[in-house]
Structure 1
Amino acid sequence: MIVRHKFVELMPDIIEDGVLYISLDYGTVIHNCACGCGSEVNTPLSPTGWKMIYNGEVVTLKPSVGNWSYDCKSHYWITDGKIEWAATWNDDKIKKIRIVEEDEREMFYKNKNPILVDIEVNKKENSKEKLTKNKWWLWRVFCGD
């Protein structure tokens, strides 16, 4: 199966099958599940999430897309604008991979983001320092608080 790509600012209300909608402004790629179940798949681009490669003609999305939360549980790669089906994973393997991914995210943001380290130190010391708009946004995005 071949997929087209469209660079957009905002995602459209209707997602067409076989199209990857890419918003660089919002760092996300959305498409309908390749199995045809109709589920909308959101793959956020981030240092610890998906990466998108555009060579001027076609798009590759890494790592694989595993729709473990959907009934279809489809698993595929999007490489050079083509769907490549991957092996199905059982629930035990999915749980293990999710734990590894969460640990990797936690370590990345804990060790690689000096703004968050500064915020965490200030929070622990009960600092009354007012967070700037950018620091507050980063805190909400990465720490969920």
Structure 2
Amino acid sequence: MATMTAAQKRAQAKAEYDAFLAACPSRRLLDRISDKWVALILAALGSGGGSPQPDAGCAGEPRSMRYSELARRLAGVSQKMLTQTLRSLERDGLVTRTATPTVPVTVCYELTDLGLSLYEMVRGLKTWAETHMDDVLASRAAYDARTH
């Protein structure tokens, strides 16, 4: 049996990723990135938060956002959930965290290149959900009327 280098082992493992298998690490990643708070954080950072800032250029462009700005943008997210989600995104290499030594400390988050690539997909899902919400609500009402 031939000996494989570490790089060859990594390449083989990558070629064998299959999210349909319970032990595959891509399944855990898929579980993480399908979380609603992950999707909304990526959408907020990728779309520039939806509101132009004096120094942010055009609305709709990815930009860094302060923690407090993200908290305001994501209605209903708890401080604990936002912090945990941002830490997991940073750990996965999807966002970067920059702390500026001011009083109090200013903390900003920004999408990495990897995060931007995922944002492109999340943006499509968000747009689809917003566009088709009326259809889904009508289908739910029709289903409920048939089953009750």
TM > 0.5 fold call: no
Q: Which has the higher contact order (CA 8 A, sep 6+)?
A: 2
Which TM-score applies when normalising by structure 2? 0.25
Which structure has the bigger radius of gyration? Answer: 2
Greater helix proportion: 2
The two structures have a TM-score, normalised by structure 1, of 0.25
Q: Which has the higher strand share?
A: 1
